[in-house]
């Protein structure tokens, strides 16, 4: 019989998207470091753009806040102009990397197979993938949320086995990304339950109870408390609100 799964952690990750230069990113990281001087209320990660990874990493080095990246290429090296590999990210001190964000699925044409390759590449290179899944508004209105979530989770986790322990899932309904709309706590809870049940089926060994599932989609310091009150929600993948130190810190505090 396999070893028991560890208790799933609370994590708040800030996805800065295509915002902040190297200097601006370092300044924001310093603000957050000052706010967290007395200690972090949960695990925290910052995911700046590639060009700011080194400067932000220098600020975070030696502290408790983790560095993360927003994407990676499935191959570890090669003739892939404009791409960044897992070993490159690890060398800069990254612990996390986001894969399958809706803006890459729907804006960059990444399909389920590509997301699965990237998740495996992250694990291969010693990174923890934050695997993003979620339905569009049309899919929700067509009552296909469960179908979409099952398909996306299954594509990444089939055959992953014990390596599943080293992943995080982020449920991000596409209709709530950058729109100001946010899933209700009930909607988030129900979607997270679907994801957990699917993890149990595809991985086994009660994986659904052990893998942290974050909520992402217009998370703010105003709605974070209600979202985190749901036992199924283990934290958040935060977009716009992570670009302002005080608001991001209040979201982290709400995850306590």
Which pLDDT tens digit goes with each residue over 203-216?
998 999 999 999 99
Does residue 184 belong to any structural domain of this protein? yes
From 103, 139, 172, 232, the catalytic residue = 172
* 240 among annotated binding-site residues: yes
Does residue 191 belong to any structural domain of this protein? yes
* 19 among annotated binding-site residues: no
Report the SS3 class of residue 12: strand
Q: Within 13 Å of residue 74, how many CA atoms lie on the same side as its CB?
A: 10
Where is average pLDDT lowest: 99-108, 145-154, 169-178? 169-178
Does residue 81 belong to any structural domain of this protein? yes
Q: Which of 55, 49, 57, 58 is nearest to 20 (CA)?
A: 49
Query: At a CB cut-off of 8 Å and minimum separation 6, what does 191 contact?
Result: 134, 145, 149, 171, 173, 183
Does residue 6 belong to any structural domain of this protein? no
Does residue 220 belong to any structural domain of this protein? yes
* 242 among annotated binding-site residues: no
Q: What is the pLDDT of residues 12-26, one digit of tens each?
A: 999 999 999 999 999
Residue 152 and residue 195 in contact, taking contact as beta carbons nearer than 8 Å: no
Verify whether residue 244 is a known catalytic residue. no
Query: At a CB cut-off of 8 Å and minimum separation 6, what does 138 contact?
Result: none
Give the residue numbers spanning the domain of 141: 11-24+38-44+64-254
Does residue 53 belong to any structural domain of this protein? no
Does residue 52 belong to any structural domain of this protein? no
Number of domains in the chain: 1
Report the SS3 class of residue 103: helix
Verify whether residue 101 is a known catalytic residue. yes
209: domain CATH number is 3.20.20.70
Cα 133 from Cα 111, distance rounded (Å)? 11
Look at residue 177 in the predicted model and tell me its pLDDT: 82
Look at residue 2 in the predicted model and tell me its pLDDT: 45
DSSP code, position 212: -
Cα 247 from Cα 2, distance rounded (Å)? 41
Query: At a CB cut-off of 8 Å and minimum separation 6, what does 222 contact?
Result: none
Does residue 237 belong to any structural domain of this protein? yes
């Amino acid at each position: 019989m396999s070893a028991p799964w560890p208790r799933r952690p609370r994590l708040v990750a800030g996805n800065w998207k295509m915002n902040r230069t190297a200097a601006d990113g370092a300044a924001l990281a310093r603000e957050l470091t000052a706010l967290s001087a007395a200690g972090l209320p949960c695990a925290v990660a910052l995911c700046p753009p590639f060009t700011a990874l080194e400067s932000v990493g220098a600020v975070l080095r030696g502290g408790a806040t983790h560095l993360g990246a927003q994407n990676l290429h499935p191959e570890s090296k090669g003739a892939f102009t404009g791409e960044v590999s897992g070993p490159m990210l690890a060398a800069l001190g990254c612990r996390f990397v986001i894969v399958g964000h809706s803006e890459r699925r729907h804006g960059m044409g990444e399909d389920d197979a590509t997301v699965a390759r990237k998740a495996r590449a992250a694990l291969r290179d010693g990174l923890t993938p934050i695997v993003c899944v979620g339905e569009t508004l049309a899919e929700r209105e067509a009552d296909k949320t469960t179908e979409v979530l099952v398909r996306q989770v299954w594509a990444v986790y089939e055959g992953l086995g014990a390596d599943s322990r080293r992943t995080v899932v982020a449920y991000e309904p596409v209709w709530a990304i950058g729109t100001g709309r946010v899933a209700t706590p009930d909607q988030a809870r129900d979607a997270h339950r679907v994801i957990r049940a699917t993890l149990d089926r595809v991985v086994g060994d009660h994986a659904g109870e052990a893998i942290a599932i974050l909520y992402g989609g217009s998370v703010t310091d105003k709605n974070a408390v209600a979202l985190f009150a749901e036992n199924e929600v283990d934290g958040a993948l935060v977009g716009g609100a992570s670009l302002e130190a005080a608001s991001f810190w209040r979201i982290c505090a709400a995850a306590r």
